[in-house]
């Protein structure tokens, strides 16, 4: 049985994941409106991934016979000064999500809830990847910031990114 404290925290995390999805959708739309279709694609895939993360948490609560409670999603920013600003915002946001996931793991550890700890290991690993990816994108865009051809080529490269179903969802279906 999952504790009330962890149950409430996971429901809050579901909301945070959906807010993250909404944020990345806004970034995708802003990038597209500025003519960066590859960047828009990169952020649209982030949008899909965050929705999947929320679903993984929902599936987990359901598997533990705990009620999923969807909360209102607060508004997100809708415009950024540059693509580089989008990725800097992404890194700061992912650091915040990492702290939220770490808090869930701390609660699960305190509860000695080994099933939850096991599920959260996947999210902890995922957050390492998310922060690393944002840092790599920042470095890439800093390298070409004043180079129109470099921006064009990087945007074209990002257009090739594809969505992959996260393993906890792939095995659940």
Residue 17 neighbours by CB under 8 Å, 6+ apart: 50, 51, 53, 54, 57
pLDDT at 173: 53
Residues belonging to the chain: 173
Task: Please report, rounded to a whole number, the percentage of residues in the chain having pLDDT higher than 90.
Answer: 84
pLDDT confidence bin for 169, thresholds 50/70/90: confident
| Architecture of the domain defined by 4-170 | Up-down Bundle (1.20)
Mean predicted confidence (pLDDT) in 92-108: 98
Sign (positive/negative) of CA torsion 54, 42, 81, 85?
A: positive
Find the mean pLDDT for residues 114-128.
96
Residue, of 26 and 166, whose pLDDT is higher: 26
pLDDT of 74 strictly over 70 = yes
- Between CA 16 and CA 140 the distance in angstroms is 28
> What residues contact 93, with CB distance under 8 A and at least 6 apart?
20, 23
Q: Hey, where are the domains in the chain?
A: 4-170
Q: What is the pLDDT of residue 172?
A: 59
Average pLDDT over residues 61-73: 96
Mean pLDDT of all residues in 53-73: 96
Section 64-92 average pLDDT: 97
């Amino acid at each position: 049985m999952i504790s009330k404290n962890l149950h409430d925290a996971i429901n809050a995390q579901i909301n945070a994941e959906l807010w993250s999805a909404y944020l990345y959708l806004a970034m995708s739309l802003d990038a597209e409106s500025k003519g960066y279709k590859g960047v828009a694609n990169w952020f649209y895939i982030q949008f899909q991934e965050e929705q999947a993360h929320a679903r993984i948490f929902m599936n987990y609560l359901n598997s533990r016979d705990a009620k999923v409670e969807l909360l209102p999603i607060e508004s997100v920013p809708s415009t950024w000064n540059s693509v580089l600003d989008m990725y800097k915002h992404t890194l700061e946001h992912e650091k915040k999500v990492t702290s939220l996931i770490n808090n869930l793991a701390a609660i699960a550890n305190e509860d000695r809830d080994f099933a939850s700890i096991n599920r959260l290991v996947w999210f902890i690993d995922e957050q390492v990847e998310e922060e690393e990816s944002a840092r790599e994108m920042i470095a890439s865009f800093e390298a070409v910031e004043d180079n129109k051809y470099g921006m064009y080529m990087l945007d074209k490269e990002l257009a090739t990114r594809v969505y992959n179903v996260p393993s906890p969802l792939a095995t659940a279906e």
